Chains A and B, each alone.
Chain A
């Protein structure tokens, strides 16, 4: 079981969260070409090591979070709000 330190709620069991996806994806504009959308939706790296993921604290504060997690060890290196404004307020922009 992973334990995720939510910046709003504190450290909680991962069963309170739901996994979103690859947090490094920059979704293109709605009218972007089909190739851009194809890459954003379907192309994924299978990283062995630290990757940035989105998780939602769905049974908590419902905030979407960016989580840097090691896929080999489950070690979590950093957790910050996905909303840039929220991250700025907390002083954890990266």
Chain B
């Protein structure tokens, strides 16, 4: 291939030179070029090395179907591997390089692998590494682990950056009456038809210019027509999106779009995202996605210099590049003839080789006028030449096979094996394309949704028919009747040919060049028993490369059909999946990266906690104080000091993240009585009660206290992480099961700032903060009492005397905005007494000492009896879960039950998650497991909570092994009562 830039013609702007680099060298192109057209014009021919065999590869097409010119774009943290040079718009400063080659694509040491090709045939990896002889089942994986690194280095794609992506990506949502995909003659006319009827239309084009195949024409009248159409679209208010790929179609007219905002810009604005991920909901969708030219499989059909016929026309008419001087054009259909005459007119010597012998006289006359030689009844058998093509050996039909014929020299071998409508998007909707034997292609099936296809995507080969079919499609999508032109449009019918080879020969003719899948691979798969195309695809990886087999899939199906002795329709086709072309993971993530990766909830006391030295941790979506380290303290020092201080003086802990639900109405107490296991109907006003809720299946769902503020007004608290789940369940009950109950519920979690204050001196501190200190006297506020209070400074709130730590303790809630003044007030009385702030780690230590359960124990597999709370399940009433908790399996005495755990040697520690096993029997699941562990300041040694079969009763006085083979090994532990500290609860009643 000796390509050259023409001095005139094409859509490039020769007054705007563009400088770019390829493999470290500087090149020049023009504005309007793609990377491929600029490299072609510069004489570069080998642009890639193939996946398995490291064969040299060049430009095979001019679009998304590209399977040869696969390159790496950008540098450093902006590197993007496996990009198609044919799709990358050229811009100043663009940096691109070849991939999968060392030292470079032109001279690749790995090409020696090509000599060992027979080792890399279909299923090579499966056979070698997945347990066929000589390896036994299961051993293959280990061998794979050993060889993986070597193989991945030799066979593979480009390398991604390991650095963080510096670019930003946006998610955008849009709505429209009609979405039109593709801007060729069909798409432009469909969009205009709808817009002129007042529809809100979005027109999407993956290219940087509108026009589709109109851009590849030499006739100036076509350009005039294109410009007029675009003007009309703009006046009609069509929203036009170029550089945007419709990568997937989903239910209800939803489409996924990827807009490339700055991928063609030298110095993008700091404010612009690199790409935008659009979700468009369209009332109707017209797919004018065009058709892609197929190749034919013959020996060395992947040589640089072998290209589709239409691509040559694109390079000539759009980019002003004559891709070869001595061109052989092999075809089996009419579409290639116009390319031939235009290439000849541009100065090339062109020979057309047509498989058909019945080519029309008009066609032949036109070729004669254009100076193009035509040879009929011939097909390409083998591309000649080393790194680039130097000629082609032809073949002619002989019986049912082929016989070698003459050889022609050439520097560019163009191939047209027919056209494949782009039915991918409709296939996303589950509509199976149907094989049309006359046109030798898959045509879109009808779709029950309002998605209509148009243009060459429906098998119209002439521009005028495409335009008419676009108008018709828009009308159909708007619910009108419309007449569609007849399909096809060639004078002489296509003569299908998929593979050319001599009988019995073994050759390298490629079906899927990007994944190095050959015709022999397809036959081998069939020999080995693969009969379904979906299996064929996975076994050979045909069509699984980044181009999804856009050029070669049909050949693969034809070969499979031939091997099975069936027709193509009987073999069928694989279902296409989104995305149509690859999209960056960054675009899917959008702005949900870094600190925005997930929702973060902060309590109203967040800043106050940070100012007072909190180290934060995640609790569900919430950020909560973990510990408040003083100078020089480790986390262990801090939590042990905090827990000790709570037991000795007092401490304050932010509990604002607890779920809070206002339950109000005349039937509120009846409602609570049904959802909690224990009695709530007779809870007195001004009292709180600890309650447990079960699920329908009898397992524990959540726990918390509920406060009766007045006759019909309750405040329910839930666990931090259970709040959402509880709210949803309560709403479900009220709306779907018990609509007769007059109850209103409302989440007030964010409305209240809450603290727990615990320790022997708590009452003194709170009294000192009250306008009326008597409010919290032991008589006025007994254990489990609830009161409305007024703090100094006029801060109104609620107080409840409840304890999670086992100490004398209160929870105080004030409106969120008063959280900080409340904390200032409480802290001003706490700090002088030697009290502390404490976080989740100390809270954990305190509750483990008391044997109080949290999410670690209530993990959804636990009954109320398992958790040792069976006495809280009323026997006098029914409640949610009361029936199914009586299932025999849930009543077995050997179920795992909550216990406390001490290390036998008190100086030892053990881990959460360790399995509890009988001595000498630490294989399998064991008898139980450790849910939580801590150093106990009160007891002076390590303690834990966990579950063990039969519970404390079965294991009293016995020791077991806490086994943790991955981290720590075995520790001998004793099973004790979960109530490890102050079992009678005397401290909190003080």
In residues 380-420 of chain B, which contact A (Cβ within 8 Å)? none
Q: Provide the bound-state CA to CA distance between A82 and B738, in Å.
A: 11
Name which residue of chain B comes closest to A64, CB basis.
B735
Tell whether B584 is near chain A: CB-to-CB under 8 Å: no
Contacts A/B (CB < 8 Å), 19 sampled: A1-B254, A3-B252, A20-B736, A27-B737, A29-B878, A30-B882, A31-B882, A37-B884, A38-B887, A42-B697, A54-B736, A56-B731, A56-B732, A62-B731, A63-B735, A64-B731, A82-B736, A83-B739, A84-B739
| Residues 43-63 of chain A, each 1 if its beta carbon lies under 8 Å from chain B, else 0 | 000000000001010100011
Determine if B252 and A54 form an interchain contact, defined as CB atoms under 8 angstroms apart: no
Tell whether A90 is near chain B: CB-to-CB under 8 Å: no
Q: Which residues of B contact A92 (CB under 8 A)?
A: none
Determine if B736 and A64 form an interchain contact, defined as CB atoms under 8 angstroms apart: yes
Tell whether B448 is near chain A: CB-to-CB under 8 Å: yes
Q: Provide the bound-state CA to CA distance between A3 and B252, in Å.
A: 6
Q: Provide the bound-state CA to CA distance between A39 and B593, in Å.
A: 44
Q: Provide the bound-state CA to CA distance between A62 and B661, in Å.
A: 15
Name which residue of chain B comes closest to A4, CB basis.
B252
Determine if B880 and A30 form an interchain contact, defined as CB atoms under 8 angstroms apart: yes
Determine if B731 and A34 form an interchain contact, defined as CB atoms under 8 angstroms apart: no
Tell whether B170 is near chain A: CB-to-CB under 8 Å: no
Tell whether A18 is near chain B: CB-to-CB under 8 Å: yes
Across chains A and B, which 5 residue pairs bring their CB atoms closest together, nearest first? Answer: A30-B878, A3-B252, A31-B878, A64-B735, A37-B883
User: Which of A34, A56, A62 meets B887, CB within 8 Å?
Assistant: A34
Q: Provide the bound-state CA to CA distance between A49 and B696, in Å.
A: 27
Q: Tell me how many residues of B have a C-beta within 8 Å of chain A.
A: 25
| Residues 216-257 of chain B, each 1 if its beta carbon lies under 8 Å from chain A, else 0 | 000000000000000000000000000000000011101000
User: Which of B250, B728, B878, B887 meets A1, CB within 8 Å?
Assistant: B250
User: Which of A3, A62, A64, A85 meets B254, CB within 8 Å?
Assistant: A3
Main DSSP-derived SS at the B contact region: mixed
Closest CB of chain B to A25's CB: distance in Å? Answer: 9
Determine if A33 and B251 form an interchain contact, defined as CB atoms under 8 angstroms apart: no
| Residues 971-983 of chain B, each 1 if its beta carbon lies under 8 Å from chain A, else 0 | 0000000000000
Known contacts A1-B250, A74-B251: A33-B883 contact under CB 8 Å: yes
Q: Provide the bound-state CA to CA distance between A41 and B885, in Å.
A: 12
Q: Provide the bound-state CA to CA distance between A54 and B251, in Å.
A: 19
Tell whether A94 is near chain B: CB-to-CB under 8 Å: no
User: Which of A1, A29, A54, A86 meets B732, CB within 8 Å?
Assistant: A54
Determine if B884 and A3 form an interchain contact, defined as CB atoms under 8 angstroms apart: no
| Residues 248-290 of chain B, each 1 if its beta carbon lies under 8 Å from chain A, else 0 | 0011101000000000000000000000000101000000000
Q: Tell me how many residues of A have a C-beta within 8 Å of chain B.
A: 32
Q: Which residues of A contact B887 (CB under 8 A)?
A: 34, 38
Tell whether B627 is near chain A: CB-to-CB under 8 Å: no
Q: Taking beta carbons and an 8 Å cutoff, which residues of B are in contact with A?
A: 250-252, 254, 279, 281, 448, 674, 696-697, 728, 731-732, 735-737, 739, 878-880, 882-884, 886-887
Closest CB of chain A to B913's CB: distance in Å? Answer: 30
Q: Which residues of B contact A64 (CB under 8 A)?
A: 731-732, 735-736
Name which residue of chain A comes closest to B250, CB basis.
A1
User: Which of B674, B732, B879, B886 meets A34, CB within 8 Å?
Assistant: B886
Other A-B contacts than A30-B879, A62-B731, 12 sampled, CB-CB below 8 A, are: A2-B252, A13-B279, A13-B281, A27-B696, A37-B696, A38-B887, A42-B697, A56-B731, A63-B735, A84-B739, A85-B739, A86-B735
Closest CB of chain A to B747's CB: distance in Å? Answer: 9
Closest CB of chain B to A39's CB: distance in Å? Answer: 11
Q: Provide the bound-state CA to CA distance between A1 and B449, in Å.
A: 14
Q: Which residues of B contact A62 (CB under 8 A)?
A: 731
| Residues 68-83 of chain A, each 1 if its beta carbon lies under 8 Å from chain B, else 0 | 0000011000000111
Q: Which residues of A contact B878 (CB under 8 A)?
A: 29-31
Determine if A41 and B281 form an interchain contact, defined as CB atoms under 8 angstroms apart: no
Known contacts A30-B674, A38-B884, A63-B735: A2-B251 contact under CB 8 Å: yes
Closest CB of chain B to A23's CB: distance in Å? Answer: 8
User: Which of A41, A63, A84 meets B696, CB within 8 Å?
Assistant: A41
Q: Which residues of B contact A37 (CB under 8 A)?
A: 696, 883-884
Closest CB of chain B to A16's CB: distance in Å? Answer: 12
Q: Which residues of A contact B281 (CB under 8 A)?
A: 3, 13
Determine if B735 and A34 form an interchain contact, defined as CB atoms under 8 angstroms apart: no
Closest CB of chain A to B887's CB: distance in Å? Answer: 7
Q: Which residues of A contact B731 (CB under 8 A)?
A: 56, 62, 64
Q: Which residues of B contact A29 (CB under 8 A)?
A: 878
Q: Which residues of B contact A81 (CB under 8 A)?
A: 735
Q: Provide the bound-state CA to CA distance between A18 and B878, in Å.
A: 28
Name which residue of chain B comes closest to A82, CB basis.
B736
Name which residue of chain A comes closest to B739, CB basis.
A83
Q: Provide the bound-state CA to CA distance between A5 and B604, in Å.
A: 36
Q: Provide the bound-state CA to CA distance between A16 and B254, in Å.
A: 15
Q: Provide the bound-state CA to CA distance between A85 and B731, in Å.
A: 15
Q: Provide the bound-state CA to CA distance between A3 and B886, in Å.
A: 41
Q: Which residues of A contact B732 (CB under 8 A)?
A: 20, 54, 56, 64
| Residues 11-29 of chain A, each 1 if its beta carbon lies under 8 Å from chain B, else 0 | 0010000101000000101
Q: Which residues of B contact A34 (CB under 8 A)?
A: 883-884, 886-887
Determine if B697 and A41 form an interchain contact, defined as CB atoms under 8 angstroms apart: yes
Q: Which residues of A contact B736 (CB under 8 A)?
A: 20, 54, 64, 82-83
Closest CB of chain A to B702's CB: distance in Å? Answer: 17
Closest CB of chain B to A14's CB: distance in Å? Answer: 9
Name which residue of chain A comes closest to B695, CB basis.
A41
Q: Which residues of B contact A56 (CB under 8 A)?
A: 728, 731-732
Name which residue of chain B comes closest to A41, CB basis.
B696
Determine if B735 and A31 form an interchain contact, defined as CB atoms under 8 angstroms apart: no
Closest CB of chain B to A26's CB: distance in Å? Answer: 9
Q: Provide the bound-state CA to CA distance between A27 and B880, in Å.
A: 11
Q: Which residues of B contact A40 (CB under 8 A)?
A: 696
Determine if B251 and A1 form an interchain contact, defined as CB atoms under 8 angstroms apart: yes
Q: Which residues of A contact B279 (CB under 8 A)?
A: 1, 13
Q: Which residues of B contact A3 (CB under 8 A)?
A: 251-252, 254, 281
Closest CB of chain B to A42's CB: distance in Å? Answer: 8
Determine if A18 and B728 form an interchain contact, defined as CB atoms under 8 angstroms apart: yes
Closest CB of chain B to A20's CB: distance in Å? Answer: 7
Q: Which residues of A contact B884 (CB under 8 A)?
A: 34, 37-38, 41
Q: Provide the bound-state CA to CA distance between A84 and B741, in Å.
A: 12
Known contacts A18-B728, A56-B731, A58-B728: A1-B737 contact under CB 8 Å: no
Q: Provide the bound-state CA to CA distance between A74 and B449, in Å.
A: 11
Name which residue of chain B comes closest to A2, CB basis.
B251
Q: Provide the bound-state CA to CA distance between A90 and B731, in Å.
A: 19
Q: Which residues of A contact B737 (CB under 8 A)?
A: 27
Determine if B448 and A73 form an interchain contact, defined as CB atoms under 8 angstroms apart: yes
Closest CB of chain B to A94's CB: distance in Å? Answer: 15
Q: Which residues of B contact A58 (CB under 8 A)?
A: 728
Q: Which residues of A contact B739 (CB under 8 A)?
A: 83-85
* Listed residue (A41, A42, A54) with the most chain B CB atoms within 10 angstroms of its CB: A41
Q: Which residues of B contact A74 (CB under 8 A)?
A: 251-252
Q: Provide the bound-state CA to CA distance between A66 and B438, in Å.
A: 49
Q: Which residues of B contact A20 (CB under 8 A)?
A: 732, 736
Q: Which residues of B contact A18 (CB under 8 A)?
A: 728
Determine if A32 and B883 form an interchain contact, defined as CB atoms under 8 angstroms apart: yes
Q: Provide the bound-state CA to CA distance between A30 and B883, in Å.
A: 7
Q: Provide the bound-state CA to CA distance between A37 and B886, in Å.
A: 11
Closest CB of chain A to B598's CB: distance in Å? Answer: 15
Q: Provide the bound-state CA to CA distance between A56 and B883, in Å.
A: 26
Q: Provide the bound-state CA to CA distance between A20 and B250, in Å.
A: 22
* Listed residue (B735, B879, B880) with the most chain A CB atoms within 10 angstroms of its CB: B735
Closest CB of chain A to B338's CB: distance in Å? Answer: 42
Closest CB of chain B to A22's CB: distance in Å? Answer: 11
Closest CB of chain B to A43's CB: distance in Å? Answer: 13
Name which residue of chain A comes closest to B732, CB basis.
A64
Name which residue of chain B comes closest to A81, CB basis.
B735
Q: Provide the bound-state CA to CA distance between A33 and B882, in Å.
A: 11
Name which residue of chain B comes closest to A26, CB basis.
B737
Q: Which residues of A contact B252 (CB under 8 A)?
A: 1-3, 74
Closest CB of chain A to B228's CB: distance in Å? Answer: 37
